[in-house]
Amino acid sequence: MCDIDRRDFIRMGSVGAAGFGLTGAAVSSAAGVLEADRPVFFHGDGLNLGPREYAGVLSGITADGQLEEDYYSNGGAVEDLEKRMADILGKERAVFLPTGTLANHLAIRILCEANGGRRVVTQAESHVANDVGDDCETLAGLRVIGLAPGEVDFTLEDVQAEHARANASRVKVGIGTISIESPVRRKLGGVFDFEEMSRISAWAESEGIGRHLDGARLFIGAAYTGIPVDRWAGLFDTVYVSLWKYFNAGSGAILAGSSDLLDGLFHTRRMYGGSLIRGWVYAAVALHFLDGFEDRLQRGIAVSEDLFSRLERHPAFTLHRRPDSSNVFVLEVRGTDPAAFRDRLATAGISMREPRDDGSIVVQVNETWASVAGEALGRRMVAALD
C-alpha cells in the first residue's frame, strides 16, 4: 500500500497516446554521443550519464575546435549559455553559477538587500527551507519562514497574514523576498498553481517585496502544464534553473533576472568561491542538450501516458499521481516481490529505483522514455511479474 495520503492522489485514467516506435538510436541521435543500447531510466529527470558517456559527449561537442573557453566563468561557452537562457526565460541577464544552492541563496540575498527586508517567505516543503543547512540565516542574516507545511502551494492570504504579523511585531522586520519552488521535489514533483502564483506575484510587486522562483525543474513543469517557461519566469524578479537535472551537465545552474540585479553578480559569485576557473565543461554540455529538449521530453511524456494507460488496465499495477503532478508518480505492483520485479526489469533494459518500505516504487519520466514504444515497455513490465 502506498504510504502517501490517497486524498492527495488521483488514480490514473485511461489516457491513450500514440506509441512512438523509436529505437535506442533515436536517443543516441538526440544526445550526440550516447550508446544505442542504454536503458530506459524510470528514475531521474535526465539521461543519467555515466563518466564514459559524459566524456564522449564532451569529445563530440569539442571535436570541431570551435568551442571557446571561459576564464573564471566569464566569456566563451559560459557566456553563450547565459545569453541563450536569458532569451528563453525572457530576462535581460543570466549568470552561470556552479550549484543551484548558490543560485537560490544569492538571488534571495540580492532581493532582500534591494527591498530592505530580512524575512524570506517560502513553502515549508521547499529546498530553501529544508536542504541548504540554513544558509540564509548563517551566511546572510536572513530568516526563512516556511508556509503551508505538507503542501505544494501556499496562498496569497497565507502571505498576507505573515506580512501583517511581521508588521505588527514590536520590532518591525519586513519580508524582503518571497521564494517559490516549482515543481516541488519533496512533494513528488507537484506544481505550484499558476493562478495563485500570479496573485501572489502581483501583490508582492505592489508591496515592494522581491520575488524569486526556484525553478530547478522549470522546463519539466512547463512541459506538463503547457505554460511556457517565460510565462512562469515573468512572474518573478529572478529565476533559477538547474543545468544538471535534465540538461545533463556535470553541475551548474543559471540565475536569470534584470541587468540592474545581476550585472555585478560575478563579484559576489567570486566572494562565495563560485567562479570556477573553467565552467565550459558544464556550460557546453547544457547548451548541447538544451537544443531540442522540449520536443524530446514531450515524446517521452507521450510514451509514458501510453504505458500508464496500459498498466491501468492490468490487475497487477496501480499508478498514483498527484492532481498537480509533473513527472513523478508512485507505482504499486501486486502478486510479486517488488525488489525481484525491479531486478528482472533491469535485465530487460529498464532501470528502476529500489522499492520503498511499503513496496511501492517512485517512477520519474524523462527523455529516455522516448527510445521505446509504450507497448514494448508494457510487455517488459508484465513479463517481469513472473
Size (the chain), residues? 386
State the Cα–Cα distance between residues 126 and 192, nearest whole angstrom. 11
Residue 83, helix vs strand vs coil = helix
* CA–CA gap between residue 184 and residue 190 (Å, rounded): 5
| Three-class secondary structure assignment of 40-93 | EECCCCCCCCCHHHHHHHHHHHHCCCCCCCCECCECHHHHHHHHHHHHHHCCCE
What is the Cα–Cα distance from 346 to 36, expressed in whole angstroms? 16
In terms of Cα–Cα distance, which of 243, 245, 239, 251 is closest to 276? 251
* pTM metric for this prediction: 0.90
Read off the pLDDT of residues 39-91 as tens digits, 9 standing for 90 and up: 999 999 999 999 999 999 999 999 999 999 999 999 999 999 999 999 999 99
d(CA 308, CA 12) in angstroms, rounded, equals 7
* Residue 64: closest CA among 292, 251, 284: 284
Question: Roughly what angle, to the nearest 10 degrees, separates helices 156-167 and 194-207?
Answer: 30
Please report the domains of the chain, with CATH numbers, ordered by start residue.
6-53+292-383 (3.90.1150.10), 70-277 (3.40.640.10)
Pull the grid cell for residue 386: 513472473
Pairing type for strands 361-364 and 328-333 reads: antiparallel
**For 273-290, how does the pLDDT look when each residue is reduced to its tens digit (9 = 90+)?**
999 999 999 999 999 999
**Rounded to the nearest 5 degrees, what angle is found at the Cα of 82, between the Cα atoms of 78 and 83?**
120
Q: What value, to the nearest 5°, has the Cα angle with vertex 330 and ends 6 and 250? A: 135
| Burial degree of 296 (CB within 10 A; 0-12, 13-18, 19+) | buried
- pLDDT in single tens digits along all 386 residues of the chain: 343 443 333 333 332 222 222 333 334 334 445 666 789 999 999 999 999 999 999 999 999 999 999 999 999 999 999 999 999 999 999 999 999 999 999 999 999 999 999 999 999 999 999 999 999 999 999 999 999 999 999 999 999 999 999 888 888 889 999 999 999 999 999 999 999 999 999 999 999 999 999 999 999 999 999 999 999 999 999 999 999 999 999 999 999 999 999 999 999 999 999 999 999 999 999 999 999 999 999 999 999 999 999 999 999 999 999 999 999 999 999 999 999 999 999 999 999 999 999 999 999 999 999 999 999 999 999 999 98
Decide: 213 and 322 in contact? Cβ < 8 Å: no
Look at residues 326, 331, 325 and name the one whose alpha carbon lies nearest to residue 350: 331
Contacts of 65 (CB under 8 A, 6+ apart): none
